[in-house]
Amino acid sequence: MKQRTLGDQGLTVSALGLGCMGMSEFYGTPDENRVIKTLQRAVDR
């Protein structure tokens, strides 16, 4: 996994992020199968 340095304190974070607000109930009930597939695909990358 690619990492990037954040700031000047030596903290490293992954270069990719996954926003999950659309998978919450904020916008209505999410399709559980679609959420699972999305998370699995993100982990595979």
Q: Is the pLDDT of residue 45 over 80?
A: no
Q: Is residue 3 part of a domain?
A: no
pTM of the model: 0.60
Is there a domain that residue 10 lies in? Answer: no
CA 1 to chain centre: 13
CA distance 44 to 38: 10
Q: Would you state the pLDDT for residue 43?
A: 85
Task: Convert the pLDDT of each residue in 1-44 to its tens digit.
Answer: 789 999 999 999 988 888 899 899 999 999 999 999 999 998 88
Which residues of the chain form beta strands (DSSP E)? 3-6, 11-14
Residue 4 falls inside a structural domain: no
* Domain extent at residue 44: 18-45
Non-local (6+) Cβ contacts of 12 within 8 A are: 3, 4, 5, 6
Residue 23 class from Cβ within 10 Å (0-12 exposed, 13-18 middle, 19+ buried)?
middle
